[in-house]
Every structure is written in structure tokens, then in C-alpha cells.
Amino acid sequence: MTVDDSQGREPTRKLARKLSGAPPRLKLPPKATDTHMHIYDDRFPGRDGGPPKPPLPATLDDYRQLQQWLGLERTVFVQGAAYQFDNACLLDALERFSAEGGEARAIAVVGPRAEEAMLEDMTRRGVRGARHMHLPGGAVGFDDLLAINARVRPFGWHMIVQFDGRDMIERTPVLEALRGDYIIDHAGKFLEPVGVDAPAFKALLKLIDRGNCYVKISACYETSKSGPPGYDDVGALCKALIAHAPERMLFATNWPHVSAPIDKQPDDGQLLDLLLDWAPDAAVRQQIFVDNPARLYGF
């Protein structure tokens, strides 16, 4: 498949997204939930301030194929950073997915002065949280986190928070001030993986112990230095998190893996199968894939 994103240069050869393959060894329980993925549709332009959209679209039809391959049923659409505060693509995907009989929720990006009518409308349509990404390309930073939390909490929304986990101790006072539930993305997103005895990782465990912090087991490939197939450095953190508080863990594909070039994307089936090692107990996997997201998102 050839896609011309060259802006006057010769077209480059791009591989198609891998949306199917050998069946995963892990057989998921009914109602298994993907709690973090993105749609990038060419009908919706990217917005200033965000990173470029991926060179290949990642459509709802594409994602449906991925779901069938992996055995996932429920989905949480998360606003892609390329769209900044424009949630049109997110809401379109949520509406179409639900119209097709799928069970879905969504996480939008809003500011601290978001209008009440807009928040009411998005809540009615299935939005259940606000995204905060304190990394390059994110639409809102830590300075606005508590104000956004206060703005959306009356609508039953939670926060999802992403930042360099090495700053966990520095960020702890603000995170402890959040009201209601919140999620820390991508196993803490330690941009340089740390050990399980590192102060920053222990700070994450203490946040979980407060009773309103969830963590997504996801995107190990983004920060791992040891790499596939086991991503052993980040895998050690995922194992420790699951062992510490399985009732607070969530699974996510992080599809379509926008941080990785198309020709070097991780295999989603192999990523899923890592849970056989990280969470070998079927009852724990039932919590991670079904029970915890059902409680948090209201499925």
C-alpha cells in the first residue's frame, strides 16, 4: 500500500496496519474491555498544537477487525493528541460504534472552563472522563489538572493522567488532591524504566493504596529498553502492579501505536499474550479485563 505523505517528495512505501493474525494464546473472558485506543479518521483534520496525525488512518472499521482478532468486546475511545480539544472524531466513532451494537465509552479532552451544556451532551453520548497528557503534544498540563477535575466531576467523569513516571514523587501532591477516581496511563509511563524498588515506583504503589487510583497495563513497547518479545524491564513493573492491586488494574491495547513507525509496530496478539505471564491467574484476568473497567466506566 502506497501513501503519499511526502509533501512534494517521492511517495514512500507504507505497510498496511496489521489487523489480524494467528489467534492469541490468551482466550479472553466475555465482555473483555480495551480501555485505551484511538481513532484517526481522514474526515477529521488534526489541530494546531498537537502532534501530526499518523501517516495511515486508523479507522473504526480497522479497529473492529482488531477487536475480532484479539477477542475484545467493550471499548473505551480516547481522544488522540493530534485532535487537541476538537472531540469530533472521538464522538463520531463512539456514536457509530454504539449504533452498530457495540458497548463503548469515551475519554475526551476539555479545558477548565468547558461549557456545562457541552459536558452534559458528551455525558449523554457516553463520555466518562477527561484526558490529561503532560508530555509534548498534550493539550493540557498539570497546572490545569485540578481545575478540570473540579469541572467534570459533577458529571461523573474521572481523569486519565499521563506523564513521565520518573516525576511520580514530584507529582504526588497534585494527584493526591484529585477528587474521585483517576487513572495513571501505561504502567506509570516511566520514560526510562525503573526497578520495582525505585522510589518513584513505590510512590505509584502508595497512590494506588489510597483507593481511587487505577493503572493501565499498556504500551510497554513505548518505554521498554529490553524490547520484545517479553519487554522484561517494563514487564517487571506490570507484574508488580498486578500482584500489588489486581482490583485496580486495567488492560489497554493503545492501538494504533502512533509512537511506532508503521513497519515497526508491535504485534497486538503477542502484546495480549504477555498477560499470560504477567497475570497467570484466570480470576485476576477477569478483574483486569472485565470487572474493573465495568465498575469504573459503568458498563
Residue 225: Cβ within 10 Å count = 10
User: How far apart are alpha carbons 118 and 80 in whole angstroms?
Assistant: 19
* Phi then psi dihedrals of residue 216, to 5 deg: -90, 130
DSSP H or E run through 273: helix 268-278
Place of cell 509512537: 259
Q: Which of 87, 149, 212, 254 is catalytic?
A: 254
- In this structure, what are the phi and psi dihedrals at residue 193, rounded to the nearest 5 degrees? -55, 135
Task: Please give the Cα distance from 132 to 285 (Å, whole number).
Answer: 27
CA gap 87, 38 in Å, rounded: 12
Q: Yes or no: say if 158 and 181 are a contact pair by the CB < 8 Å rule.
A: yes
Pairing of β 2-3 and β 12-13: antiparallel
Active site residue 87: no
Helix (H, G, I), strand (E, B) or coil at 72: coil
Catalytic residues: 254
